[in-house]
């Protein structure tokens, strides 16, 4: 069986002019690019794990246009993984027959497992300066970093981007987690899909990071780190809509919650209108994947309300994302003194 990964040892001429939607035609599939720079070890960079999240690619190709495109070496070597180019060609996060490319990095079988293994095999024995995975938000969130390990260099990378970070303990199959203990690693949420300023954020971060001799320390007092405590799902067999859609569904999720991502919602806040019991309407799982709906929700007269205060993140009103991933996460704020290192 041929490898699902294409590998280039240099930047293909003119690739910086190619938008994400045309990469499948140009590259043929997921591709790893080894790019030499003035300093080593290289930074590992992944873009387009979700096909419609194009800002990372747009920021990178602008950086390449300003360096390699002008005959100027990169300040530091790069290894770039260009992910789901098939989904990018269709302008969607993930094609219906595909698995999420940010959920294949541990224990995946079949073609997804072969792709993940091929990427990691290419990195075997390579010392890395850092690993960065670039994404857009699926909902109206501030831009922030995602950490899978609490470590000083990870805080430094996060703070180089923004003063907000989220520490996640699951899912454990995301790309960043495979770099835990190997090198500093973050996921950067650049902002909403379609916002042209997000590519500027990617370009700015990469331009600064590639010139670093070391990762600077964070200002621990200013870095706000949130810890995810639960993930909220809509069961696959429950039809749902959002308030204002005008649809008659068993579960109608409250409008406007997307606007309060990263802000505390007090106990008693209405989360949905439903005739279903709380445990039937929503499936909440804690970080150990144990059922937690009863901890967070109760039914009151056809309304689903919060039992305790929560800070939502990544709440999305995109039905496809709700089905493919989740509705949102619930978080708590970590005290600065609780950050290790």
Q: What is the Cα–Cα distance from 113 to 226, expressed in whole angstroms?
A: 31
**pLDDT tens per residue across span 45-73:** 999 999 999 999 999 999 999 999 999 99
**In sequence order, what are the beta bridge partners of 240?**
251
Euclidean distance between the first and final Cα of the chain, in Å?
A: 45
> What CA–CA distances, in Å, run from 134 to 47, 109, 298?
5, 24, 37
pTM of the model: 0.94
Residue 1 has pLDDT above 80, yes or no: no
Q: Left if phi > 0, otherwise alpha if psi is -120 to 50, otherwise beta: which for 101? A: alpha
- Asked if the model's pLDDT at residue 156 lies above 60, the reply is yes
Domains of the chain: 6-222 (3.40.630.10), 228-337 (no CATH)
* Alpha-helical regions (H) of 170-292: 197-209, 278-281
pLDDT higher than threshold 70 for residue 273: yes
The pLDDT tens digits of the residues spanning 5-20 come to: 999 999 999 999 999 9
Q: Is 200 a residue whose pLDDT tops 90?
A: yes
Kindly indicate the confidence band of residue 141, based on its pLDDT and cuts at 50, 70 and 90: confident
């Amino acid at each position: 069986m041929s490898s699902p990964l294409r590998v280039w040892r240099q930047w293909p001429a003119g690739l910086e002019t190619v938008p994400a939607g045309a990469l499948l035609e140009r590259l043929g599939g997921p591709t790893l690019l080894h790019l030499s720079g003035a300093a080593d070890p290289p930074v590992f960079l992944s873009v387009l794990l979700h096909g419609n999240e194009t800002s990372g690619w747009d920021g990178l190709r602008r950086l390449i246009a300003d360096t390699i495109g002008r005959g100027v070496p990169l300040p530091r070597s790069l290894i770039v993984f260009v992910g789901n180019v098939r989904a990018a060609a269709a302008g969607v996060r993930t094609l219906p027959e595909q698995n999420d490319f940010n959920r294949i990095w541990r224990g995946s079988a079949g073609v997804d497992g072969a792709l993940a293994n091929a990427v990691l095999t290419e990195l075997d024995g390579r010392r890395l300066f850092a690993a960065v995975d670039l994404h857009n938000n699926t909902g109206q969130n501030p831009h922030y970093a995602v950490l899978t390990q609490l470590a000083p260099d990870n805080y430094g990378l996060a703070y180089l981007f923004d003063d907000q970070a989220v520490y996640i303990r699951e899912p454990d199959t995301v790309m960043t987690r495979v770099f835990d203990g190997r090198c500093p690693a973050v996921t950067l949420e650049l902002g909403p899909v379609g916002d042209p300023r997000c590519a500027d954020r990617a370009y700015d971060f990469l331009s600064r990071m590639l010139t670093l001799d070391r990762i600077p320390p964070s200002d621990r007092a200013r870095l706000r780190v949130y810890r995810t405590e639960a993930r909220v799902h809509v069961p696959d067999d429950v039809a749902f809509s959002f308030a204002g859609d005008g649809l008659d569904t068993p579960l109608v999720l409250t409008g406007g919650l997307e606007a309060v991502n990263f802000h505390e919602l007090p106990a008693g806040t209405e989360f949905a209108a439903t005739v279903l019991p709380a445990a039937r309407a929503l499936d909440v799982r804690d970080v150990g994947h144990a059922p937690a709906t009863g901890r967070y929700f109760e039914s009151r007269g056809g309304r689903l309300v919060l039992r305790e205060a929560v800070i939502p993140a990544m709440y999305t009103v995109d039905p496809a994302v709700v089905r493919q991933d989740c509705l949102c996460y619930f978080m708590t704020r970590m005290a600065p003194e609780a950050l290790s290192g």
